Amino acid sequence: MAPAGARALGSALVDSGLTRTRVVLQQWTPNFRPSEAALDGQPIEMLLVSSMQIHAAKAYRLIADAHRAGDRRPLIIAGGPKAIYEPNDLFAIDGNPRLGVDVVVTGEEFVLMQLLEVLLDYRKRCPTMREAFELARDEDSLREIPGLVYRQSDDLDAPLYNTGIQRLVRDLDEFPHPILGYKLLEPPHRGRTLRREPLPASRVRRINTVSSLSLSHGCKFNCDYCPIPAYNQRTYRQKSGERVADEMRRIREELGIRFFFGTDDNFFNNRPAVEQMFKVMSRTKINSRPFGDEVFWGTEATEFDTWKNHDLLPMARKSGLRAIWFGIEDITATLIRKGQSAGKTEELFELLNRCGISPRPMLMHHDGQPLYSREGMYGIVNQVRYLWKIGAASVQVTVLTPSVGTRSYEPTFEKRMVFSKVGGRRVDQWQYDGNHVVASQSGKPWRMQLNVLIAYLAFYNPWTLFRSLLRGRGRLLERAYCQVTGMYSLFWTIAHSAAWAFRLWRGPIERARSPQWTRTPAAVVEPSEEISLPVLAEVGSPA
């Protein structure tokens, strides 16, 4: 599945007229080297690097490699979750301030578009985009673009300047069509440079079987371990039903992709919006067939809002909705209260299965939660077994991990919960993936790591597969598929997690007082006075 973020940036660039653009995915081209890359026989002028925290090391390598081009290096722009929440880290790779990005975009696509609009004006006077950036920076032409972080001069000791919080686009329909990004994908290969042509449309389906689409942004809940509400400035935004139906229709007809995943934070957050979407999709035809027969899609939602709108589920199924991933976290609501309960979960799952929509719960194992409880349902295994019993097709179990950008991030360091070294080995950023125990007040954190594996084994095992088939409760093929793929994946998960559990058991464990991977101690200067800025919510796609 080609990530939606990188494709969205590519769509925005080509929609703005920058047609010589290529979207390179590291999982498809692991050996790509920006220093050797060229488009149409010319060195690239801009390198945009997008990364989550768990992929930060690979982003660092790409940035450092771009500097190997010397004076011919491209303008380096960083974005994505890592850059949004920890921009400082990207200005000094491996502690070297000479190896860093030129500017960080801490907002969405239109922040980048505003930046490029300014730089293209300066490009008329400069031979490269990097020199255009330097001139625009030196003339203070970037300060009125909210959502940027950059060094104030070429002086490596100069402080970083933060232009403030981005202005959000209110109407998600204003973003460019996602199919544009699919036509920019670099073909999978082991080479270090770019291929002459992007991936042909006829091959996209064979490599990218599921299309991720941004349908809505935001969530009404305010969990202290989640950065989503703050990033969206406590707002909820969504695309219209007409736009969503058109995106799926064009991708299905032009690329042949049938399966879609909505990257929603809480899909059922706004009832009028989702109801309108279902109605439009239900009456839309794809290849002269009903919409729900041509596309199958899933999304993420909270149990509370799905239950509140359960009367819409038959209409949702008609629109092609086949699965919902629920961030239940803890059925007993001990960890967090989001309107979930055992009784409500059972009723909702029964209704979903009856409508032909697969419930996919996600749990979060945390300090103090036992593996098994004799009474009640607090134990993680108790909850997993209960979810299988009431009809869950799959289950995900992660551990509560400090997440950058959340209210609980700094307090976990202050409480000395976060591990800096385990068994003499430094804890890396990629281990903050929810699959590794990297923070705990327990004296035996290895038990938490093993608890996750045991919980998975309680759900994915041959006996459960046999019982699922024996019960004969509808969609047997789906249940069998989930069990078989789950057992296959669990084999590799055990092989990896058991090694980390052993290291946690052997120790010693050293604890951190602050994030230990900060790359630069540079000061960040905030705007000293309020600046009159354009409202991005009223800006359409750049021409």
Assess if residue 211 is contained within a domain. Answer: no
Pick the residue with more confidence: 268 or 473?
268
If pLDDT is split at 50, 70 and 90, which confidence band does 157 have? Answer: confident
Q: How confident is the model at residue 472 (pLDDT cuts 50, 70, 90)?
A: low
**Cβ distance 43 to 74 under 8 Å?**
yes
Q: Has residue 490 been placed in a domain?
A: yes
For residue 382, what pLDDT is reported? 97
C-alpha separations of 53 from 261, 281, 373 in Å: 22, 36, 35
Q: Report pLDDT for 474.
A: 54
Residue 57: inside a domain: yes
* 319-325: average pLDDT: 96
The full DSSP string for 51-110 is --GGGHHHHHHHHHHHGGGGGGPPEEEEESHHHHH-GGGGGSBTTBTTSS-SEEE-S-HH
Q: pLDDT tens, 481-496?
A: 999 999 999 999 999 9
> What are the percentages of helix, strand and coil residues in the chain, rounded to 5?
40, 15, 40
Residues in the chain, how many? Answer: 543
Q: What is the mean pLDDT of residues 496-523?
A: 82
Q: Going edge to edge, which strands form the sheet with 259-262?
A: 210-213, 259-262, 296-301, 321-329, 358-365, 396-399
> 289: helix, coil or strand?
strand
Would residue 320 be called left, alpha or beta, if left means φ above 0 and alpha means ψ between -120 and 50 degrees?
left
Q: Is the pLDDT of residue 529 over 70?
A: no
pTM given for the model: 0.90
Is residue 162 scored above 60 in pLDDT? Answer: yes
Helix residue spans in 214-322 (DSSP H)? 228-231, 241-255, 271-283, 291-294, 303-308, 313-318
**239, 173 Cβ separation under 8 angstroms:** yes
Residue 489 one-letter amino acid? S
Q: Are 74 and 37 in contact (CB under 8 A)?
A: no
Query: End of a domain among 137, 171, 205?
Result: 171
pLDDT on residue 515:
78
- Checking if the pLDDT of 519 tops 60, the result is no
Q: What is the DSSP letter of 508?
A: -
- The C-alpha atoms of residue 117 and residue 12 are separated, in whole angstroms, by 12
Residue 482 domain-assigned (yes or no): yes
Domain around 395 = 366-519
Tell me the pLDDT tens digit for each residue of 116-142.
999 999 999 999 999 999 999 999 999
pLDDT at residue 526, as a whole number: 56
Taking residues 343-369, what's their average pLDDT? Answer: 95
Here the tokens at position 455 are: 């919980």
Whether the pLDDT of residue 50 is over 70: the answer is yes
Q: Are 400 and 225 in contact (CB under 8 A)?
A: yes
CA atoms within 13 A on the CB side of 319: 25
Does residue 505 contact residue 446 with C-beta atoms inside 8 Å? yes
Reported as a pLDDT band with limits 50, 70 and 90, residue 470 is confident
Does residue 267 form part of some domain?
A: no
pLDDT of residue 478 exceeding 60, the answer is: yes
Band the pLDDT of 525: cuts 50, 70, 90. low
| Measured distance CA(139)–CA(342) in Å, rounded | 60
pLDDT of res. 516: 66
Which range among 225-234, 442-451, 519-528 shows the weakest confidence by mean pLDDT?
519-528
**Is the pLDDT score of 97 beyond 60?**
yes
Q: How far apart are CA 50 and CA 59, in angstroms?
A: 7
pLDDT at residue 531, as a whole number: 32
pLDDT-based confidence at 477, cuts 50/70/90?
Answer: confident
E strand or H helix that includes residue 284: none
| pLDDT above 90 (res 62) | yes
How many folded domains does the chain comprise?
Answer: 2
What is the rounded distance in angstroms from the CA atom of residue 451 to the CA atom of residue 397?
Answer: 10
E strand or H helix at 145, and its extent?
A: none
Tokens linked to 44: 């690239």
pLDDT of residue 269: 92
* DSSP letter assigned to residue 334: S
* Assigned domain for 208 exists: no
Q: What is the dihedral of CA 436, 437, 438, 443, to 10 degrees?
A: -160
Domain endpoint, select from 107, 141, 171 = 171
Look at the block and give the residue holding tokens 């019993």: 389
What pLDDT score does 543 carry? 28
Q: What whole-number distance in Å separates Cα of residue 445 and Cα of residue 438? A: 9
User: Could you tell me the pLDDT band of residue 538, with boundaries at 50, 70 and 90?
Assistant: very low
Q: What is the rounded distance in angstroms from the CA atom of residue 119 to the CA atom of residue 272?
A: 41
464 contacts 528 by C-beta, under 8 angstroms? no
Is residue 284 very low, low, confident or very high in pLDDT (cuts 50, 70, 90)? very high
Q: Which residue has the higher pLDDT, 472 or 479?
A: 479
Q: Give the C-alpha separation, 457 to 451, whole Å.
A: 10
Model confidence at 228, pLDDT cuts 50, 70, 90, reads: confident
Residue 52 has pLDDT above 50, yes or no: yes
- Does residue 53 lie in a domain region? yes
Confidence at residue 231, expressed as pLDDT on a 0 to 100 scale? 87
Mean pLDDT score across all residues of the chain: 90
